[in-house]
Amino acid sequence: MTANEMKPIVEALLNAPSCCPELKAVAQAWLVAVGTNQEATVTGALLQEAREDISTIEHTLGFFESPAAEKIFGAEKAKAMAAHAREIQSKGAKWCDCAACAACAKLLGL
């Protein structure tokens, strides 16, 4: 994937409410490094962070069915998010489909 193809995906990642601070920092560094002699190194770091941060559907489902999710989102929202995860899992999804995970999946070619 070229830098031009990656740029809108990285920008979407930066705008994703579900993107963690570490991934945002690497994504921002990647945007700065594009076209410089640091681009390849920072691209590697971005892809590594994406691999570490993308959530499997099983992990996502486990989280949304946990007391921690109820505490963060409230019982109804956590239950609805778990139901959504089960629905996409039943259709063959392997990864969480939140904006951050979807962008990571695109970057990683998953």
Query: What's the pLDDT at 43?
Result: 96
| Distance, CA of 41 to CA of 60 (rounded, Å) | 30
Query: What's the pLDDT at 35?
Result: 94
Tens digit of each residue's pLDDT (9 = 90 or more) over 23-64: 999 999 999 999 999 999 999 999 999 999 999 999 999 999
Q: What percent of the chain has pLDDT over 90?
A: 99
- How does the average pLDDT of the chain come out, rounded? 95
The pTM of this model reads 0.88
Domain layout of the chain by residue ranges: 1-54+96-110, 56-94
Residue 98's identity, in one-letter code, is C
Query: What's the pLDDT at 15?
Result: 95
For residue 36, give Cα distances in angstroms to 4, 9, 40, 42, 81: 14, 19, 9, 10, 41
Query: What's the pLDDT at 13?
Result: 94
Give the chain as a DSSP string: --HHHHHHHHHHHHH-TT--HHHHHHHHHHHHHTTSTTHHHHHHHHHHHHHHH--BHHHHHHHHTSHHHHHHH-HHHHHHHHHHHHHHHHTT--B--SHHHHHHHHHHT-
Q: What percent of the chain has pLDDT over 70?
A: 100
